[in-house]
Structure 1
Amino acid sequence: MAKSQEWETTDVLICGCGPTGAMLSGYLGKLGVRNIVLEKEPDITTDPRGIALDDDGIRFLQGLGLYEHVFTKMGSNMPKSEGNTGHVGVLAHKQPILEKYLRIAMKKAAECELRCSCELTSISEDKDWVYATYKDVSGTERKIRAKFLAAADGKTGYTRKMYLEPKGVELNWAEQTKYQETWVALNWHLHLPTPKTHPTFPLWDLGYTPEQVYDLFFPNDFRFLCNPVRPAVCGRFGRPEDRLWRFEFVIMPGEEEMEMAGQEKVREVVYPYLTHPGSRYGLKEDVEFPEDCIEVLRSRPFRFSARSCNKWALDRVILCGDAAHVFPPFGGQGITSGFRDAISLAWRLSIACSSNRQLDYEHLFKGWYLERKQQLDKSLASTVHNGDLVNGSSFMHLFIRNWGLWFLQLIPSWKHWLERGPRGEGPTQYIHSPGMPFIPEYNGGLYFPQTYCISLQKNAEVQFTDDVIFAEKRSHSRSWYS
């Protein structure tokens, strides 16, 4: 291997600055671990992809000091969603804004450095270092070495596809199912019709305001449209004033993907949901939301599957986020799962980078991904179950689902459990295996709780317990279970 002076050196090289890579970098910075992030794109994409973040994800943003921006800049809470961490159950966010503030958190740490428009070209290792080459924004090839390389470069990224798969790392089907489907994902920016812009819209004469019309056609809650012919999901995301709407529908066998994402097919599939029967309002004619108030931000097909790699770490190279596992779209777990990877990996990397003795880092990282797989399997199972529930088309499935859900809502406690969804079961309790950092004999593996607290000082502000316990500390303990 080349001499050390020929290679730029850092502790951790992170490939990819999407949500997972940025979260990992931010937490490494808080722990004092030098890291360089290589991002292929020149800037944050303006296209919102993921739109949901559960209460774990909000808690992780809080840990980076970003909580004040969660509901003022990033998004809004989904109604009736309850969490287990002192936060609401689900944040309906705008991903570009989420990523913007993650990068702001990175910039506050001297140990973090982001390099955009950089494309990885090679990886190699010896017993002490992992070496990488990349092309920078000018096309010049650069050399860098790190103690560890963490790949958050997505399901088609260079690290797994070109480096680890030839070494036996595989992206396997999840044990629960071989789910794979293609859906069209639409992002719309909506504009309010008004009596001035749309004087003939029939609901003005009935006393409806523009805001009420918006709420009628685009309800505040997120919805699974259990259409046996073509399942779909839809809901608002971002801040209320953003007026952003997501609609996704499945592409059936034999249909051409790009054609189904085209304007004609989208209108055929989606606009019946935006047309209300006139009888609902005592009118003879149906009422359709004005098409010229819909601005299409995105309409494209996405292939979803439920998969996880057999190994997430090999020697000094580690996979996290979509590079290690991919989710169907039914549970809003994609970004949060990447966050969980980053949080639990960061303190382990800190130990591995700072240890003065010979450390069995392979054992350390194997314990990490076996731990993560326990929670991931639970999330995948609930996500696939959601999909099975809404995608069923047989008469018996529809009968049992529809009447079962109706019956559950007759009993208040069951209705509340149903509204909470998978989070109503509480956090994962981990089962110990070698390499996991807790003592099972003392009931270790439980999720570390968070609640509100206040000091005994007069006029003290209410705070989250995480912010008090971990305030200004560079600690290896921030994994949120004990």
Structure 2
Amino acid sequence: MIQEGDRPVIEYADRNGLRRKISGSFVVGADGKKGVVRKIFLEESAGIKQVEGSYRYDGTWIAANLKLKVPTPETHPNFPLWDLGFTPEAVYDLFWPKGWHFCSPPGRATAAGKFGPHTDRLWRHEVEYNNWDDSMDSEKLLWENLKPMITRTKDESNKPFPCGDVTYPRDCISFIRCRPYLFTHKVVNKWYHDGVILIGDAAHVFPPFGGQGIACGFRDAHQLAWRISLLQLLPQSDGLLRDRLLGSWALERRYSVDDATKITSMNGRLCNKGDDFYFWLMRTVVWLLRYVSTMFSMPDPMTASETRGYQTVDGGFFSKKFHGGKRMAQIYVQSCCNAPVLSDELIRNTKTVMTLLVITQDQYKEAMVDAREVLRAVYLHPSILSESSLRVFSPDSPSKADNTVVYFPTPIRRLNDLGISVKPGYNPSNYLRRLGQGTRFVIIRPDLYTFALANNTEELVECFTALRLQLQGAS
């Protein structure tokens, strides 16, 4: 990879050995912990390397990818669960449950779960072995850990099997790979250099017991994509604007990674040390509080973190003066003409990078007129915001919308009627509650964080002006 002006250029040899070039505006390295983008191109030239993060961890784990087959009455006629009415799929789902599982069976922290398409029948299994040495047999040790986990004594309703213990057929499990890995927690000291950017494991690595590595990787990409899109769409995009957008991205991502590290640390303590006094005390206090009052609801630390968003990040892409940096809640919304959809769709279906949410109870047409007038008065490039990216939202079902498309929270009873399940604690009012009482206008980024909130048109003018200043020279 070489740099030609502001553009990175990749040189490669095709299958015939001919040298070719690909020139672009950006190179995104999503090629893993030991990927070539950082190790070969950035480590020496830009001094970018992974350094110890806010949680110190070094541990050896045996990590395996398993390929599974589903037993059938034809292939395994003596399998005891056929006599109990189990189908092949029911057997598979019982022994290999959905989701990811972090646990600490006697002596060994374990992380395991399905990955890839359901039809591929792939399972990831990781077991901590800090006393590993090269004389050990990784497959034998992993099988010792796995076998008790794929032995069942009860069905999904906790009813004991009359036949006793049942183990998933060994010949239906094969190893794609199985070897020891050294897991650490590290984060790059710099997330980008010119137009070369690092995301995912190339930028940060986590221990396996937190489940945060892939989650942070998705967030890296989600929050980077719209910035790259803006830089490509704006006519006067230059190195200063690139550094402003990518610099704010790097600050926000480091904050988010550190936040995820706290969850990893807590989960690691539980997985690696077991249910110690600290967790016993916490669990007991929560149980007592809920027992004393059925009205008491323990705050979810993840929800609190999501609500807070990036508000405390200095240098983020939002207006602190106008309470930007909040994370939008996710609820089901609908209009008079549309079926319920996730509120994310209000943002995703606009043709501009940003979206302006107009909140009003009754005056739908008047509110739209106000928003359009401000948008015309404070010119923004049409790729940033335009009249096509306005969305009207009402706290309640509108009685008369004057031909204006008005979105509102879908009542839970309607979701139930449509067979749409919601998680415990789901509350449609959270969508506006996070924004605060009196908010009329919200500039929302594509990654569902707010740029700014305004209570009236005068504040909206200031918010648009702040957005222009963040994108100085892009008008």
Counterpart-to-counterpart distance in 1, 2:229 and 2:72: 54
Counterpart in the other structure of 2:249: 368
Question: What is the aligned partner in structure 2 of residue 224 from structure 1?
Answer: 102
Say if 1:192 and 1:144 are closer, same or farther in 2 by CA, change over 3 A: closer
The correspondence of residues 308-319 of structure 1 with structure 2, limited to 5 A, is 308-319=187-198
Distance (whole Å) between structure 2 residues aligned to residue 423 and residue 312 of structure 1: 27
Counterpart amino acid of residue 481 in structure 1? Y
* Shift in Å, 1:247: 2.4
Q: Which residue of 2 aligns with 1:438?
A: 318
Larger Rg: 2
- Matched position secondary structure for 2:178: strand
| 1:249 alignment partner in structure 2 | 127
**Greater shift after overlay, 202-211 or 352-361?**
202-211
Aligned partners of 1:153 and 1:323 also within 8 Å: yes
**1:314–1:362 contact (8 Å) kept in structure 2:** no
Cα separation, 1, equivalents of 2:326 and 2:287:
31
Q: Which runs of 5+ in 2 are unaligned?
A: 354-383, 385-444, 451-475
Equivalent residue number for residue 142 of structure 2? 266
Aligned ranges 1:282-431 → 2 under 5 Å? 286-353=165-232, 354-356=234-236, 358-360=238-240, 361-392=242-273, 398=276, 400-401=278-279, 405=283, 408=286, 411=290, 422=302, 425-431=305-311
SS for the counterpart of 2:111 is: strand
Contact 1:185–1:302, Cα closer than 8 Å, also in 2: no
Query: Cα distance, 1:135 vs. partner?
Result: 2.3
- Structure 1 contact 191–294 (Cα < 8 Å) conserved: no
| Structure-2 separation of matches of 1:456 and 1:142 | 54
Contact 1:451–1:464, Cα closer than 8 Å, also in 2: yes
Corresponding residue SS for 1:183: strand
Instruction: Tell me the amino acid that sits aligned with residue 109 of structure 2.
Output: P
Identity %: 35
Note if 1:135 corresponds to 2:103. no
Change (3 A) 1:446 1:245: same
Contact preservation (8 Å) 2:57, 2:207: no
The 8 Å contact of residues 183 and 304 in structure 1, kept in 2 or not, is answered as no
Distance 1:437 1:342 in 2: 16
Pairing 1:46-65 to 2, within 5 Å after superposition: none
In structure 2, what residue type is equivalent to 1:176? Y
Q: 1:403 to 1:295 in 2, by over 3 A?
A: farther
- The whole-number CA distance in structure 1 between the counterparts of 2:195 and 2:124 is 39
User: CA distance change for structure 1 residues 136 and 295 in 2, over 3 Å: closer, same or farther?
Assistant: same
Partner AA of 2:333 in structure 1: C
Aligned to 2:449: 481
Greater length-normalized contact order (CA 8 Å, ≥ 6 residues apart): 1
Match for 2:102: what amino acid?
F
Deviation of residue 253 (structure 1)? 1.8
**CA displacement at 1:242 relative to structure 2:** 5.5
Q: Which letter does structure 2 place at the counterpart of 1:223?
A: H
Corresponding position of 2:111: 233
Displacement of 1:359 in angstroms is 4.7
Superimposed CA distance per residue, residues 268-296 of structure 1 (whole angstroms, 9 cap, x where no aligned partner)? 23213334579x95879754332223344
CA RMSD after TM alignment: 3.6
Letter in 1 for 2:270: L
Query: Structure 1 CA distance, aligned partners of 2:94 and 2:207?
Result: 29
Q: Which runs of 5+ in 1 are unaligned?
A: 1-121
* Alpha-carbon distance between aligned partners in 2 of 1:180 and 1:125, rounded to the nearest angstrom: 42
Q: Is the 8 A contact 2:66 2:176 kept in 1?
A: yes
Question: CA separation in 1, counterparts of 2:80 and 2:21?
Answer: 66
What is the TM-score when the length of structure 2 is the normalising length?
0.63
Say if 1:409 and 1:470 are closer, same or farther in 2 by CA, change over 3 A: same
Q: Report the AA paired with residue 246 of structure 1.
A: R
AA in 1 matched with 2:12:
Y
Task: Look up the SS of the partner of 1:124 in the other structure.
Answer: strand
The structure 2 residue matched to 1:465, chosen from 319, 337, 343, is 343
| Cα separation, 2, equivalents of 1:187 and 1:414 | 45
